[in-house]
Amino acid sequence: MKRLLFALASLLGLLQHQLWVGANSLPESFQLKEQISLQQASNAKLIARNQVLREEIIDLSSGTEALEERARNELGMVKEGETFFRVVGDKRASEVSSH
């Protein structure tokens, strides 16, 4: 009887050791779940960014309006016959508007 009780206690101790310290332990499982949730959040951001880029590619390849807008904004290009005006804000005017 004592041998059986000792064997069961030893088995329980071994199982507890595996649960808390061994391979695939409970703390490791919690850590992996946290890593999974962080990776899923990162993936969601990248998926959203990729969707925006896809839409931009479709927009640029389907018409000239988006291409023209991009040339104007990023390269400062002007159509032939247009007059370009640059409005430079006065430092005092920006200080007055911020107060």
* Range(s) of the domain holding residue 74: 26-79
Decide if 92 is inside a domain. Answer: no
Decide if 54 is inside a domain. Answer: yes
Distance CA 9, CA 35 (A): 35
pTM of the model: 0.51
pLDDT in tens, 20-57: 888 888 889 999 999 999 999 999 999 999 999 998 88
In angstroms, how far is CA 15 from the centroid of its own chain? 39
Residues 1, 7: contact at Cβ < 8 Å?
no
Three state DSSP letters for 53-89: HHHHHHHHHHCHHHHHHHHHHHHCCCCCCCCCCCCCC
Structure tokens at 70: 């991009």
pLDDT for position 48: 97
Decide if 94 is inside a domain. Answer: no
Question: Count of domains in the chain?
Answer: 1
Q: What residue type is 28 in one-letter code?
A: E
pLDDT in tens, 55-93: 888 887 887 777 788 788 888 788 788 887 778 877 765
For the stretch 15-49, what's the b/e string if a residue is b when 16 or more beta carbons lie within 10 angstroms of its beta carbon? eeeeeeeeeeeeeeeeeeeeeeeeeeeeeeeeeee
